Amino acid sequence: MSKRTAIKKITIEAKTLRHLREQRGLSMRQAALLARVSPTLINLLENGRQDIHNEHIEKLVMVYGTTREIFELYKLGTAALPRDAKRECLELISTFNALQVQSAEPLLRAIASVGKMQIV
């Protein structure tokens, strides 16, 4: 039985499944349709809210046009997952309390303005 939780625990397996799906150019809905599972399941798996079991991996790697061996290479760190720094920063900020957000805001605004500066 899969454990479903409100607590996010994004594992390397979850990150790998998301990467493989996105690499294939599939939305969660498209992946679910091809794998004959609910889009909710894809979301729960990728967002660390449901345990990932071998049956999930086997079904999804096939849909994503890859193999279990490739999945394992990413999982073991033999092949590096590309970083999505923007997503990682947004996920980090979403964990901040109000005081932390207030503290970080000036730095974020300063960084954002750098891209808007014109060099004369």
Q: Which residues pair with 4 in a beta bridge?
A: 50
pLDDT in tens, 77-120: 888 877 777 777 888 899 999 999 999 999 988 888 886 655 55
What are the C-alpha distances in Å from 9 to residues 48, 62, 69, 120? 4, 24, 23, 47
Q: Please report which confidence band the pLDDT of residue 2 belongs to, taking 50, 70 and 90 as the band edges.
A: low
Which of 86, 4, 83, 10 lies closest to 51, judged by CA? 4
Domain 12-76 CATH superfamily: lambda repressor-like DNA-binding domains (1.10.260.40)
Residue intervals of the chain classified under CATH 1.10.260.40 are 12-76
Interacting residues of 80 by C-beta distance below 8 A, sequence separation 6+: 74
What is the mean predicted confidence (pLDDT) over 61-76?
94
